């Protein structure tokens, strides 16, 4: 991502949209720290740049790897596609209903570096892989990471990839048990290989989805969307979180995390929350309007607007 300094007027409308605080406002123009930028594309989609100074430049290898891992709207090249082809990688143990990797009686452990929203680098990924290899862990073959090079042992040494920053998911909600009584998700997915077997089964699946939508709206669903290409394989399973470890001082406070983690791809920055809190305080925007604006970056539609309105009201009265 780049900013055309010839046309930038320094309005600052892009600064608060950056998911990793890579955009700074200088004396006359805004500037992007290219080392910090993960190429998620959020600023280009959300910022209301009056002069179109914010632009997506042509990304060459290996910088485009940042966009593959960080932009959930960027399609992976065919040779690196192992799931839906967009976003942060592949089907793995956290989507076991798709992959069926772990069966009854088995336990899978998932380590997600950079969650939620602080990003990571391939240098950190390398550290973890080296430790896991010592205990006999193997790299998943159907994953973009080893496919970035024919020789995965040399993966991190080529093209200076150790310093490539990428965004990580933030898919788990943050809050207390009591707070989640009115903030949860129900995912209903077509069964790949059955519901899409032919035109008849596809039509039947669509009718079922319509009925489910009617039921959801009847019971006050906050948001509703449709995604295709999902599967439902394997035994029933449960997910348990072992929490967040490491440099937790890099995380925003609890009030911010309750809002930022409502977007599964962490496209809502803490600075964006602060921006609209100040707008509410000065009376130029209502909490309801702010809640809708904060939902805009969440393109997958999983964001809970009414719950966010309640939280941002509290923040504005501090």
CATH number at residue 37: 3.30.70.20
> Is 231 a domain residue?
no
Q: Would 207 be classed as within a structural domain?
A: no
| 144/101 same-domain check | yes
83, 157: one domain: yes
No. of helices (H) and no. of strands (E), the chain: 10, 6
| Secondary element (H or E) of residue 146 | helix 144-147
Q: Do residues 138 and 153 touch, judged by C-beta distance below 8 A?
A: no
Can you list the pairs that 184-192 forms with residues at least 24 positions away whose Cβ atoms lie under 8 Å? 185/302, 186/216, 188/212, 189/97, 189/227, 189/230, 189/231, 189/232, 190/228, 190/230, 191/231, 191/232, 192/229, 192/230, 192/231, 192/232
In a domain, 191, yes or no: no
- 224 within domain boundaries: no
Residue 89 falls within a domain, yes or no? yes
Question: What is residue 281's predicted lDDT score, i.e. its pLDDT?
Answer: 96
Please tell me whether residues 81 and 42 are part of one structural domain.
no
Better-predicted residue by pLDDT, 247 or 98: 247
121 and 157 share a domain? Answer: yes
Q: Are residues 34 and 114 in the same domain?
A: no
pTM, entire model: 0.76
Is the Cβ–Cβ distance between 33 and 66 less than 8 Å? no
pLDDT tens, position by position, 40-85: 999 999 998 999 999 999 998 888 888 888 888 888 887 776 655 5
The answer to whether residues 95 and 40 belong to one domain is: no
Residue 311 inside a domain? The answer is no
Q: What is the pLDDT of residues 231-251, one digit of tens each?
A: 333 344 455 667 777 888 888
- Alpha-carbon distance 155 to 112, whole Å? 19
E strand intervals along the chain: 2-3, 23-25, 30-32, 54-55, 120-121, 165-166
Model confidence over 168-196: pLDDT tens digits? 554 456 677 777 676 666 666 666 566 66
Read off the pLDDT of each residue in 283-288 and give the average, rounded to a whole number: 96
Count of structural domains, the chain: 2
As a whole number of angstroms, the distance between CA 78 and CA 169 comes to 22
Q: Which domain holds residue 47?
A: 1-57
Same domain? 99 vs 52: no
Whether residue 220 lies inside any domain: the answer is no
Q: Are residues 156 and 89 in the same domain?
A: yes
Residue 96 and residue 48 share a domain: no
Are 4 and 84 contained in the same domain?
Answer: no
Closest CA to 28 of 11, 45, 41: 11
Collect all residues with Cβ–Cβ distance below 8 Å to 11 and sequence separation of at least 6: 49, 50
- Regarding whether 33 and 6 lie in a shared domain, the answer is yes
The domain boundary residue, chosen from 166, 192, 227: 166
Is the pLDDT confidence value at 200 over 90? no
- On whether both 150 and 90 belong to a single domain, the answer is yes
pLDDT (0 to 100) of residue 235: 43
Residue 155 lies in a domain: yes
As a 3-state breakdown, the chain gives helix, strand, coil percent values, each rounded to 5, of 35, 5, 60
């Amino acid at each position: 991502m780049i900013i055309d300094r010839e046309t930038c007027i320094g309005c600052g409308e892009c600064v608060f949209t950056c998911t990793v605080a890579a955009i700074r406002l200088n004396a006359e123009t805004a500037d992007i720290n290219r080392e910090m930028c993960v190429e998620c594309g959020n600023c280009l989609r959300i910022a209301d740049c009056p002069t179109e100074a914010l632009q997506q430049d042509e990304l060459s290898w290996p910088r485009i790897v940042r966009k593959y891992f960080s932009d959930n709207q960027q399609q992976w090249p065919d040779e690196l596609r192992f799931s839906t082809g967009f976003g942060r990688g592949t089907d793995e143990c956290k989507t076991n209903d798709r992959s069926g990797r772990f069966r009854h009686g088995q336990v899978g452990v998932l380590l997600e570096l950079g969650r939620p929203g602080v990003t990571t680098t391939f240098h950190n990924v390398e550290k973890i892989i080296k430790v896991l290899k010592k205990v006999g862990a193997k790299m998943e073959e159907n994953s973009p990471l080893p496919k970035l090079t024919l020789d995965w042992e040399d993966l991190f040494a080529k093209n200076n990839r150790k310093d490539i920053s990428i965004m990580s998911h933030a898919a788990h909600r943050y809050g207390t048990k009591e707070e989640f009584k009115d903030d949860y998700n129900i995912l209903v997915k077509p069964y790949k290989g059955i519901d899409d077997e032919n035109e008849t089964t596809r039509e039947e699946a669509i009718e079922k989805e319509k009925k489910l939508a009617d039921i959801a709206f009847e019971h006050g669903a906050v948001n509703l969307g449709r995604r295709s290409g999902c599967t439902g394989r394997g035994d029933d399973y449960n997910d348990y979180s072992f929490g967040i470890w490491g440099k937790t001082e890099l995380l925003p406070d609890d009030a911010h995390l309750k809002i930022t983690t409502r977007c599964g791809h962490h496209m809502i920055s803490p600075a964006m929350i602060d921006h609209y809190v100040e707008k509410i305080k000065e009376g130029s925007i209502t909490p309801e309007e702010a809640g809708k604006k904060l939902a805009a970056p969440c393109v997958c539609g999983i964001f809970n607007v009414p719950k966010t309105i309640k939280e941002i009201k509290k923040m504005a009265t501090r």
